[in-house]
Amino acid sequence: MGRLKITNVKAIVTAPAGINLVVVKVETSDPGLYGLGCATFTQRFLTVAEAVDEYMKPFLVGRDPSDIEDIWQTAMVSSYWRNGPVLNNAISGVDMALWDIQGKRAGMPVYQLLGGKCREAAAAYRHANGSTVEELEENVRRYMGEGYRFIRCQLGGYGGDKAVDGKQTKNPPPGAYYDPAVYARDVVDMFDYLRDKLGFEPELLHDVHERVPPILAVRMAKELEPHRLFFLEDPLAPEDVRWLETIRRQCSTPIAIGELFNNPHEWTMPMVHGHLDFIRVHISQIGGITPAKKLAALGETFAVRTAWHGPGDVSPVGHAANVHLDLACPNFGVQEWCGLDERLQEVFPGCPTVDNGYVYVSDAPGLGIDVDEQKAAQYPAENVLPRWTMTRTPDGSSVRP
């Protein structure tokens, strides 16, 4: 029997839940042996699919799928310019698929290839929202009733989604408007209310989503300290991480950051200097399982726990990869979980499951998940830019999302 080779690489684009997803399928010379990986960059999914089909495929056909590390290293530098979200996602789709193939060949789930279980399942957090604090409290209690101990709390969406009527200029450009100062005050008031009603048993979180200036992020972290958040998520944009030191010097609110990170240099020094508590990268954004396992090991050295990005714009394949890493990493913290509806589960048989606030993956070889390409084709993606990425303050200035 000849050496196993990669024979085909293709992008599968689908949107079963109305969110554009990109999944990569790597086929081999062994009939029926293939792997799947997540390459989802929702806002630019067409460019990722093109990179997979036109660049990754000719780069990979004929290679041995067992050469995971060498393929990752050479794919990262083959375009010379690197560490951008489009190519990182394309590489991720391939990388996860190769780990999936390796697990299938070994007859082992990926978490076993990564060193075996450190825990039986991954504790997850859900997103609770509300237009009023009373509605938010109701949603938090609903998740608590389902067994979740970790709950992210948002009042009116990112930035508070507060009306800015009377504050805007004439002829305002289109966008999602909010007032950063009002939002920052409302968050503190929100947690005053929630802790009064719920006490300190539930672990509560909040996502700033990089929507305030750095000095206001410092103030928010200080004012939220008495509420003992499990973590404050993305209080700063990647460009402003030097302010992490200021936050750390002034309060003990745990900080989670990294959703927008692409380059290892963005997380290395904050970890080394002890300026963050949880690393929040989107695994496909940094290039897949291969760099994520190294990032987790670096975090373990510097007492940083993992909290991989897990919203709706991660495919079920990506969610499975998240949880395999969660099970194998001793410094796991918590897993973001958006829930997978029936359409996603039909398109992707073998999805991770939830029980009493914990996420479980299949013990099947590889990532334990598949894709029904015929059903995936029934849910075509739409190239529409989401409004929330076009965020503006009352005077019309564009701000980071």
pTM of the model: 0.95
Give the whole-angstrom CA distance, residue 203 versus residue 228.
8
What is the mean pLDDT of the segment spanning 249-278?
A: 96
Closest Cα partner for 296 from 288, 305, 287?
Answer: 305
Q: Which of 127, 206, 209, 324 is catalytic?
A: 209
Predicted confidence at residue 178, as pLDDT, reads 87
Q: How does 21-58 read in b/e, with b if 16+ C-beta sit within 10 Å? A: bbbbbbbbebeebbbbbbbbbbebbebbbebbeebbbe
Predicted confidence at residue 62, as pLDDT, reads 97
- 135 CB-contact burial (10 Å; exposed 0-12 / middle 13-18 / buried 19+): middle
Question: In the CATH hierarchy, which top-level class contains the domain 113-364?
Answer: alpha beta
- Neighbouring residues of 291: CB distance < 8 A, sequence distance ≥ 6: 72, 264
Query: With 90 as the cut, is the pLDDT of residue 220 above it?
Result: yes
Query: With 60 as the cut, is the pLDDT of residue 93 above it?
Result: yes
| Whether residue 227 lies in the annotated active site | no
What is 87-143 written as a DSSP string? HHHHHHHHHHHHHHHHHHHHTSBHHHHTT--SSSSEEEEEEEEESSHHHHHHHHHHH
Residue 161: pLDDT band (50, 70, 90) is low
Q: Which of 158, 177, 358, 379 is catalytic?
A: 158
First to last CA, the chain: 53
Q: Tokens in use for 69?
A: 């590390």
Amino acid, single-letter form, for residue 169: T
- What distance lies between CA 249 and its chain's CA centroid? 28
Predicted confidence at residue 333, as pLDDT, reads 98
Closest Cα partner for 308 from 351, 257, 271?
Answer: 257
Give 54's DSSP letter. I
Quote the mean pLDDT of the chain: 95
The fraction of the chain above a pLDDT of 70, given in percent, is 99
Residue 31: pLDDT band (50, 70, 90) is very high
pLDDT (tens digit, 9 = 90+) per residue, 353-377?
999 999 999 999 999 999 999 999 9
| Whether residue 158 lies in the annotated active site | yes
pLDDT (tens digit, 9 = 90+) per residue, 267-323?
999 999 999 999 999 999 999 999 999 999 999 999 999 999 999 999 999 999 999
Residue 401: pLDDT band (50, 70, 90) is confident
What are the domain boundaries of the chain? 113-364
Q: Tokens in use for 38?
A: 């997540």
